[in-house]
Amino acid sequence: MSDYTLDSAEGRVEALRRMLTIRSFDETAGERFADGEIPGFVHLYVGEEAVGVGTCAALNDDDYIASTHRGHGHCIAKGLNPKYMMAELYGKADGYCNGKGGSMHIADVDAGMLGANGIVGAGPPMATGAALSIDYQGRDQVAVGFLGDGAVAQGQVHEAVNLASTWNLPAIFVIENNRYGEGTPVEQQHNVDNLSDTAAAHGIPGVTVDGMDVTAVAEAVEEARKRARAGDGPTMIEAETYRYRGHYEGDEQVYRDEDEVERWREQDPIASFKERLIDRGELTEAVFEEMQAEAQATIENALAYAKEADDPHPSEAYEDMFGDSVPEIERFAQQATARTDGGDH
């Protein structure tokens, strides 16, 4: 089982907490990026929290997920520690990838997180592969491949879904349709209105759910998981959602107007779930505010940790190319070690 399921009041509150943590993390990352502290690119998940959290709530802890370039939310939903995530964003030695991956490549394979991925559409083949390992070894797991609406146009996505379907593997493909593939509206990239219709081409069920409603996403993934574990093969789920921020931080968003963003904010996945939990008597406004403050504090601590953490030693650049060392790289590693050791003395 996951740490949290939507079957209990505690689980629902925990799901809300994860959504709050994701939002705090990404809003903070956006600020720190704007301030020039975080190098590279960051792609934020603000607005889409219900998809990652709903999905992971329906998974077991040892199930796999393969993420996208917009992966922070998936990481937190899957239970990764924001401290080491933030350290990775800062390129620090203690980051999940020792500073070699950054925002777009956070991974923790032992925790079932097969990596954020900078290539659009790369998650599904990874999920099919993990599902192949699961099936081959007869393990009681499933593998989820996240993809964006843009990725539905990628050949490798369809090859992966076809293979998973043909081999009847326990995979689930979750399309996060946030309405824009980078800066181009979904209608200009696909000639189907429901991206889940493409499942029909692969002989598997495809469904579209409200991706702003964590309960809808969780329910669909739960059904898909049951189906996969019953040996009935993969499922495609399209979650209709929206990203409030640009494709990447710094995106001028000329392709949409603020009214549209506001309309989607009215269905905010956190605010709407919060209201429902309050209506159900499972949450109070005061508790919610406390949770919000806690989430903010968690991220502030993560930020402080990341800022103070050590940079990687330059020789780290030569680590992890292979399981063993090769002479072609080893000599550079030795030079880096000698150079910095010499400098230290």
Q: Does 58 bind other proteins (CB under 8 A)?
A: no
Structure tokens at 133: 């390992």
Give the x/- contact pattern for other proteins in 133-152, rule: CB under 8 A: xx-xx-----x---------
| Secondary structure E strands in the chain | 64-66, 143-148, 171-177, 180-181, 184-185, 206-210, 235-240
Q: Of residues 205-224, which lie at the interface with other proteins (CB under 8 A)?
A: 205-210, 213, 215-216, 218-220, 223-224
State the minimum distance, in angstroms, from the CB of residue 293 to other proteins: 26
Give the x/- contact pattern for other proteins in 87-126, rule: CB under 8 A: --------xxxxxxx---x-xxxx---xx-xxx--x-xxx
What's the rounded Cα separation, in Å, for the pair 94 and 132? Answer: 32
Beta carbons within 8 Å of 271's beta carbon, 6+ residues apart: none
Q: Of residues 278-307, which lie at the interface with other proteins (CB under 8 A)?
A: 279-281
State the minimum distance, in angstroms, from the CB of residue 285 to other proteins: 13
Candidate segments 19-27, 42-50, 163-171, 245-253, binder of other proteins by CB under 8 A: 163-171
State the minimum distance, in angstroms, from the CB of residue 1 to other proteins: 18
Residues in the interface with other proteins (CB under 8 A) total 84
Structure tokens at 251: 């995106």
Candidate segments 32-40, 44-52, 160-168, 246-254, binder of other proteins by CB under 8 A: 160-168
Q: Which of 107, 30, 109 is nearest to 71 (CA)?
A: 107
State the minimum distance, in angstroms, from the CB of residue 280 to other proteins: 5
State the minimum distance, in angstroms, from the CB of residue 6 to other proteins: 8
Residue type, 251: D
Q: Of residues 233-272, which lie at the interface with other proteins (CB under 8 A)?
A: 235, 237-238
What's the rounded Cα separation, in Å, for the pair 117 and 72? Answer: 11
Q: Are strands 171-177 and 143-148 parallel, antiparallel or unpaired?
A: parallel
Beta carbons within 8 Å of 73's beta carbon, 6+ residues apart: 22, 26, 45, 48, 49, 51, 52, 53
